[in-house]
Amino acid sequence: MHEINIEKKILMKNDEIASGTRLAFRKMGIFAINMVSSPGSGKTSIIEESVKKLGVKAGGIAVIEGDQETELDKKRIERCGVPAHQITTGRACHLDAEMICSALEWVMDQKNLKLLIIENVGNMVCPAEYDLGEEMMVVILSVAEGDDKPLKYPALFNAADVLIINKIDLTPQTNFDIERAKKNALKINPGLKIFTTSCTTGEGITEWCAFIAGLAAKGTEVKE
Amino acid sequence: MHEISLIKTILETVKKEMTVCGAKKLNSITLRVGTLTAVEPVALRFAFNSSIEKTDMQNAVLEIVESKLKGRCRDCGTGFNMTELDSLCPICGGGDVKRVSGTELDIISIDVD
């Protein structure tokens, strides 16, 4: 019987692939974001509103959709006039670096791409651990959920760079307290940048779009 | 939910290490799991036991070392155990705290024959 010291990250292979993808994106001048949330928080709607607002004038946007099944989200995005690629994960509950890496060829076929939006599988647990090669992770929380959600799913809120509180037009119909949600999220991750949006009224979408357009234009020097 | 895919990745790494060392039998794997990860030790054990069933690794044991959430105050440099996610520095009361542990997901070692 003898012990062999390993000291390796469990997800080392995923992280290596993700680093390679990130480098490839950077070389192509692409700013990639990974959008995560529970199912039904409005990820696809935010992407639709964002590409509508950004797409026409900025151009160079593409979307990768991750779902367990169907191409429904890809079709929704394509209807907005933006190229979309669907990854169906089957039984897997999250996207991983290998799946994004195998979509690289499709990404390279898109001309003059500046912004790549990756919509992860709706899940607040597993995506926290998987680096996809993005520059920025965006977590979405809708007011139809609870304002204590950051405290219940700390790993995801800790991993994210940006929080979007969505469906704020519904706030009067719920007991969701936006300020309390922000406070809870900042407890977990004091560095979070927070936006509040409604895809129904359009509130906050301009601010969010200006933020990502600025990052995409600036290039990919945000994270080390 | 992703514990099975984590175990699959762990076993791939372990098999590779065993081949390199010429080890024949796996006795145990020791992991380091931070308290601020989305990984549940009970689910991890369940996934491990199901994955090694009826294989040549079936008698192996999974050891999990929990890595507690620890912080270091950026103002006064004090290192301390965080009891809550928003712990303040116990010395100066500062809130600018860097997390130094609690997010690890590592394979520490294996024991083989």
Distance from C-alpha of A191 to C-alpha of B97, rounded to nearest angstrom:
11
Contacts of A13 in chain B (CB under 8 A): 9, 12-13
Tens of pLDDT along A128-180?
999 999 999 999 999 999 999 999 898 899 999 999 999 999 999 999 999 99
Q: State which residues form the domain around A206.
A: 2-221
Residue at token pair 């003898």: A2
B8-46: buried (b, 16+ CB within 10 Å) or exposed (e) per residue? ebbbebbeebbeeeebeebbebbbbbbbbbbbeeeebee
For a pLDDT cut of 70, what percent of chain B falls above it?
96
Q: What is the pLDDT of residues B39-75, one digit of tens each?
A: 989 999 999 999 999 999 999 999 999 999 999 999 9
Q: Residue B54: beta bridge partners?
A: none
Q: How many CB pairs under 8 A join A and B?
A: 93
Alpha-helix residue ranges (DSSP H) falling in chain A: 12-27, 43-58, 72-78, 97-101, 104-109, 149-152, 154-159, 178-188, 205-218
First to last CA, chain B: 32
- Report residue A193 as tokens: 């940048």
CATH for A134: 3.40.50.300
pLDDT tens digits, residue range A18-70?
999 999 999 999 999 999 999 999 999 999 999 999 875 556 899 999 988 89
What pLDDT does A187 receive?
A: 87
Of A4, A92, A94, the CB nearest to B112: A4
Locate all alpha helices (DSSP H) within A28-153, ordered by sequence: 43-58, 72-78, 97-101, 104-109, 149-152
Distance CA B106, CA B103 (A): 10
Q: What is the pTM of this model?
A: 0.89
Residue B87's contacts (CB-CB under 8 Å, 6 or more residues apart) are B71, B80, B97
Residue A224, pLDDT score: 38
> How many of the other CB atoms lie within 10 Å of CB of A215?
19
Distance CA B13, CA B33 (A): 17
What's the domain count of chain A? 1
Looking at this predicted complex, what is its ipTM?
A: 0.85
The pLDDT value recorded for residue B89 is 86
Query: Which residues, in sequence order, are CB contacts of B72 under 8 Å at separation 6+?
Result: B78, B79, B80, B97, B98, B100
Whether residues B9 and A4 touch (CB distance < 8 A) is answered with no
In this complex, do A158 and B36 lie within 8 Å of one another by their Cβ atoms?
yes
Selecting from A7, A92, A190 the residue whose C-beta is nearest the C-beta of B108 gives A7
Amino acid of residue B19: T
Name the helix (H) or strand (E) containing A6.
strand A2-9
Tokens of A56: 């026409």
